């Protein structure tokens, strides 16, 4: 049972969530989990000007995902930062190359889930995940969110990401806030939840 965690992360926040989601998925017996990233579309000099080169260097060892890998997975957890309430351009461009998978029905009946990040508390996390679901539904995937059995999303003790739609992180207006313990716990829970559902779907 193969679980693919495929993400884009400019400053490393979604990368850390994706790592936690992969960790959660690995807790499920028989789960073979692969972490990979979508291709970068911005030139190196642009990334340097945006101050993202350090975070990009940290991810250089993470393999770049291919469309073929999506088709071979039994479940896919997608990770993207929000861009004005939608997925980032890098993820959109990658998904726009999956037409052949759609023609083949390669993702029909497989579990699909989304994690995200934004700078601010109300920066479009939920709309990013919900709008992402449209693409997954066109591929015939079974949408998996973050159920309220993860009680961390109901905390009133701190500002925190995570909603029934999926785990998320609030990065801060300057991007300096790293994922909290609660946000990482949400991603782990979601990863395990997706893998359990995928195991049932493939039984």
Residue 128 to residue 143: CA distance in whole angstroms: 14
Name residues whose C-beta falls within 8 Å of residue 203's C-beta, 6 or more positions apart in sequence: none
Name residues whose C-beta falls within 8 Å of residue 33's C-beta, 6 or more positions apart in sequence: 2, 3, 4, 5, 22, 25, 26, 191, 195
Is 193 one of the annotated binding-site residues? no
Is 152 one of the annotated binding-site residues? no
Helix count and strand count (H, E) for the chain: 8, 7
Is 12 one of the annotated binding-site residues? yes
Q: Classify 116 in phi/psi space as left (phi over 0), alpha (psi -120 to 50) or beta.
A: beta
Is 102 one of the annotated binding-site residues? yes
Is 26 one of the annotated binding-site residues? no
Is 14 one of the annotated binding-site residues? yes
Residue 186 to residue 79: CA distance in whole angstroms: 13
Is 1 one of the annotated binding-site residues? no
Is 138 one of the annotated binding-site residues? yes
Is 117 one of the annotated binding-site residues? no
**For the stretch 90-112, what's the b/e string if a residue is b when 16 or more beta carbons lie within 10 angstroms of its beta carbon?**
bbbebbeebeebeeeebbeebbb
Binding residues: 9-14, 82-84, 102, 138
The binding site for NAD(+) consists of 11
* Residue list, annotated binding site for substrate: 102
Give the residue numbers of the binding site for FMN: 9-14, 82-84, 138
């Amino acid at each position: 049972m193969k679980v693919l965690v495929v993400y884009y992360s400019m400053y490393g926040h979604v990368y850390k969530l994706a790592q936690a989601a992969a960790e959660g998925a690995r807790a499920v017996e028989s789960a073979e989990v692969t972490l990979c990233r979508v291709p970068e579309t911005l030139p190196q000099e642009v990334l340097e000007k945006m101050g993202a080169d350090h975070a990009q260097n940290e991810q250089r060892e993470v393999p770049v995902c291919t469309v073929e890998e999506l088709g071979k997975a039994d479940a896919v957890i997608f990770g993207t930062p929000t861009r004005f309430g939608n997925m980032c351009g890098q993820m959109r461009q990658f998904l726009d190359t999956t037409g052949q998978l759609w023609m083949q029905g390669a993702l029909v009946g497989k579990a699909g889930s989304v994690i995200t990040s934004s700078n601010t508390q109300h920066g479009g996390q939920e709309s990013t995940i919900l709008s992402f679901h449209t693409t997954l539904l066109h591929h015939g995937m079974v949408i998996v969110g973050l159920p309220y059995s993860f009680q961390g999303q109901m905390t009133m003790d701190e500002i925190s990401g995570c909603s029934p739609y999926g785990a998320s992180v609030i990065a801060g207006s300057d991007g300096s806030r790293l994922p909290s313990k609660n946000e990482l716990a949400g991603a782990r829970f979601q990863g395990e939840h997706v893998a359990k559902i995928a195991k049932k779907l493939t039984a």
